Amino acid sequence: MTIAQIADELGLERYDRRAVKAVLEEKVEARHLQRVGKTRYRWEPREVRPGGGKAGTDGGRVRPRGGGIEGRYSRARAGFGFVEVQGDAARRFQRDVFIPAGMEGAALHGDRVEIEIDSLDARDRRASGRVVRVVAAARERIIGTLQSYLRGWRLLPSDELLPIVDIVGGESPRARDAGLVAVVRLTAPPTPGRPARGSLERVLGAADDPEVQFLTIALEFGLRVDFPDDVLAAAAALPTDPRPDDFAGREDLRAMPFVTIDGEDARDFDDAVCVERRGAGWRAWVAIADVAHYVQRGSPLDVEAALRGTSTYFPDRAVPMLPERLSNQLCSLNPERERLVLVAEMDLDAAARRTDQRFYRAVIRSRARLTYTRVAAELAAADGAPRSADPIGDPVIEAALRDMRALMRGLYENRMRAGALDLDLPEPIVQLSADGHCVGLGLRERNDAHRIIEELMLEANRAVAIHLRDRDVSFPYRIHEPPDPEELVELNEVLARFGLRVAIDDPVRPRDVQAVLDKLRGHPMEAVLSRRMLRSLTQARYSAINSGHFGLAFPIYCHFTSPIRRYPDLLVHRQLGRLFDGDVRPAAAEMEAIEAASAAASQCERNSMDAERAMLDLRRAEFMLQHLGEPHPGFVVGVASFGFFVELDAYPVEGLVRIQDVADDYYEFVEAESVLQGARTNRIIGLGDRVVVEAVDVSLQRRRIELALLEHRENETLRGRLGGRGAPPARRDARRGAGGRGRRR
| 438-444 and 477-479 beta bridge pairing | unpaired
Distance between CA atoms of residues 19 and 10, nearest Å: 15
CATH code for 141-205?
A: 2.40.50.700
Distance between CA atoms of residues 509 and 553, nearest Å: 8
Evaluate if residue 301 carries a pLDDT over 80. Answer: yes
CB atoms inside a 10 Å sphere around CB 134: 18
Evaluate if residue 91 carries a pLDDT over 80. Answer: no
Least confident of 345-349, 521-525, 551-555, 706-710: 521-525
464-484, pLDDT tens digit by residue?
999 999 999 999 999 999 988
Evaluate if residue 55 carries a pLDDT over 80. Answer: no
Distance between CA atoms of residues 515 and 501, nearest Å: 9
* CA atoms lying within 13 Å on the CB side of residue 399: 7
Looking at per-residue confidence, does 51 or 605 come out higher? Answer: 605
Specify the pLDDT at position 745.
28
Across 597-601, 711-715, 727-731, the highest mean pLDDT is recorded for 597-601
Evaluate if residue 218 carries a pLDDT over 80. Answer: yes
Average pLDDT, the chain: 87
- 181, 207 contact by CB (below 8 A): yes
Evaluate if residue 351 carries a pLDDT over 70. Answer: yes
Specify the pLDDT at position 58.
39
Q: Do domains 141-205 and 627-722 have the same CATH topology?
A: yes
- 116, 65 contact by CB (below 8 A): yes
Specify the pLDDT at position 742.
32
567-588, pLDDT tens digit by residue?
999 999 999 999 999 988 777 7
User: Sorting pLDDT into bands at 50, 70 and 90, what band is 64?
Assistant: very low
User: What CATH topology corresponds to 31-136?
Assistant: OB fold (Dihydrolipoamide Acetyltransferase, E2P) (2.40.50)
User: Sorting pLDDT into bands at 50, 70 and 90, what band is 45?
Assistant: low
Phi-psi label, residue 146: left if phi above 0, alpha if psi -120 to 50, beta otherwise = beta
Distance between CA atoms of residues 213 and 211, nearest Å: 5
The class that CATH gives domain 627-722 is mainly beta
Comparing CA positions, the residue from 462, 492, 493 lying closest to residue 477 is 462
Comparing CA positions, the residue from 178, 108, 118 lying closest to residue 142 is 108
159-174, pLDDT tens digit by residue?
888 999 999 999 999 9
DSSP assignment of 640-661 equals ETTEEEEEESSSS-EEEEEGGG
- 483, 508 contact by CB (below 8 A): yes
Specify the pLDDT at position 688.
87
CB atoms inside a 10 Å sphere around CB 25: 13
Evaluate if residue 47 carries a pLDDT over 50. Answer: no
Distance between CA atoms of residues 548 and 291, nearest Å: 26
Specify the pLDDT at position 119.
85
265, 271, 277, 283: CA torsion to nearest 10: -160
Q: Give how far the C-alpha of residue 469 lies from the chain's centroid of Cα atoms, to the nearest Å.
A: 28
485-521, pLDDT tens digit by residue?
778 888 888 888 888 898 887 678 888 899 898 888 8
Evaluate if residue 52 carries a pLDDT over 50. Answer: no
Q: Give the domain ranges of the chain.
A: 31-136, 141-205, 229-478+552-612, 482-537, 627-722
